Amino acid sequence: MKHLLLSLLLVAASLGVMAAPQDTRPPLSKDEVLDLLTSSAPSKVIISTIQQYGIAFKPTAQVLEEFRKAGADKAVLTALQVAWHEEVPKPLGDKEIVMLLAEDVPSENIVRTVQERGIDFQPTGDYLQQLRSDGAKDVLIDALRAATPRPFSKAELLQLLATRMDQDWIAQRVQVRGIDFDPGKENLQTLQNHGARTPLLEALRIAKRMKPFVAQTPASPQVARPLVEGKTATLICEASDSDVPVLASPNDLGKIAMRLHCGEHVTFLERVASPPGFDRIQYADGKEGFVASSYLEAAIATPGLGVTAPSKIYCPDPPYTPEARRDRIEGTLVLAIVIDTQGNVSAVQETSAPLGEGLDQSGMDTVKKWRFNPATRDGIPVPVRVEVQITFRLYQNTP
């Protein structure tokens, strides 16, 4: 069956036709690309197949090296890199919001999703009135009144083109939402190379130009996977580094055996007891080396059980907003924050009910600027998650 599917893909690519509808032919997997490379098919046909169906995996340096060894030439490797597009979260549609309310999702939670993802429609008065009849609270109605449709980014359009969605529909949505990039010759040529036809290109040329959408609230803190011996880990770069140095010996900082890309996957083998702060890893072709512990994913800890709590260095109070002062709003904001190994706040998540009138955003924006002495385990800085509370009281805050 696999060989039959491979043959159909190659024949379709060589003839320039679709082998199957998009809803039944998903993007190529890594194994399918390897099968294509070992099928002795011409590079032109393999490239055409990649361009036609896209790929369902990220072509990291390690993956591209594997393909190169399997016979991929430079043109095929380039086609793989061009075919990959990061997933762009979809904005909320009007029907999705109605559905969330029908499923008894709290209005406050829907507001956060609207703020994180944006919307793809312009709420009308009749629509908002219907939402109120369906149980929407004022906080949701106010958020939607203030919202405008999220403009299309170039990345989002490339993603839609890769799914072979109806381009007339995309052009209609472009008229409603606008775009956040310059529809100049270079960008339009890129979209055309990915399948955009004349009606869509014309819609982009005359589309409303809008500012890029910026989420008003951060996504939930990402909890990195714990390090387990023999399991895959991801290399993360420090602010001052563009890649990760792998040492031949943990005791010789000048003996760099290899430099690996940020985000590359390696196998974590063990912690190094002496000197502390280094990990032994395995990378390409079974080679082994050592990296500083700060370059590997580690579980985000909580103070206690051998982890010292972070201590404050710079933690100013957030300012009252004029709107909250005018409406005399008071209350306590509860935030879950992640403090990294440099003592910076790397993630913020609101866990309490919104206070409104800009106080939530004021609190989160200020907390992102806080600085700490980092938490430590055995004297080595580690990332931790802690909960902080900010109390807004009119008599405690000055304008």
Answer yes or no: do 242 and 313 share one domain: no
Q: Is residue 211 part of a domain?
A: no
Residue-wise pLDDT tens digits, 134-191: 988 888 888 898 888 989 988 889 878 876 678 998 999 999 899 999 899 989 998 9
**Local structure of 138: helix, strand or coil:** helix
Q: Which domain-ending residue is among 168, 187, 205?
A: 205
| Residue 76 pLDDT greater than 80, yes or no | yes
Same-domain pairing of 113 and 158: no
- Are residues 328 and 312 both part of a single domain? yes
* Residue at a domain's end among 189, 205, 221: 205
pLDDT in tens, 212-228: 887 665 444 344 455 67
**How confident is residue 397, by pLDDT bands cut at 50, 70 and 90?**
very low
Strands 384-392 vs 371-373: parallel, antiparallel or unpaired: unpaired
Assigned domain for 218 exists: no
Mean pLDDT of 73-82: 87
Helix ranges (DSSP H) in the chain: 2-15, 30-37, 43-53, 61-69, 74-83, 94-102, 107-117, 125-133, 138-146, 154-162, 167-177, 185-193, 198-205, 322-326, 359-367
If you ran DSSP here, which 8-state letter would residue 295 be given? Answer: G
**Domain contains 366:** yes
The pLDDT score that the predictor gives to residue 366 is 93
Stated pTM of the model: 0.41
- Residue that terminates a domain, selected from 83, 106, 137: 83
Mean pLDDT rounded to a whole number for the chain: 81
Q: Are both 180 and 238 inside the same structural domain? A: no
The whole-number pLDDT of residue 221 equals 39
> How confident is the model at residue 151, as a pLDDT?
92
Cross-strand bridge partners of residue 246: 258
Pair of tokens at residue 141:
């109605």
- 131 in any annotated domain: yes
Q: Can you give the pLDDT at residue 203?
A: 92
Instruction: Please give the tally of structural domains in the chain.
Output: 5
Domain that residue 250 falls in: 232-295
Pair (316, 385) in one structural domain: yes
Which domain CATH number covers 375? Answer: 3.30.2420.10
* Domain-located, residue 214: no
pLDDT tens, residue by residue, 317-367: 999 999 888 888 888 998 888 888 888 988 788 878 788 888 999 999 999
Nearest C-alpha neighbor of 96 from the set 76, 114, 77 = 114
Kindly state whether residues 40 and 108 are assigned to the same domain: no
Average the pLDDT over 252-261 and give the result: 85
For 33-63, write each residue's pLDDT tens digit: 898 888 878 888 888 888 777 787 888 888 8
Average pLDDT over every residue of 376-385: 79
Both tokens assigned to 384: 């931790």
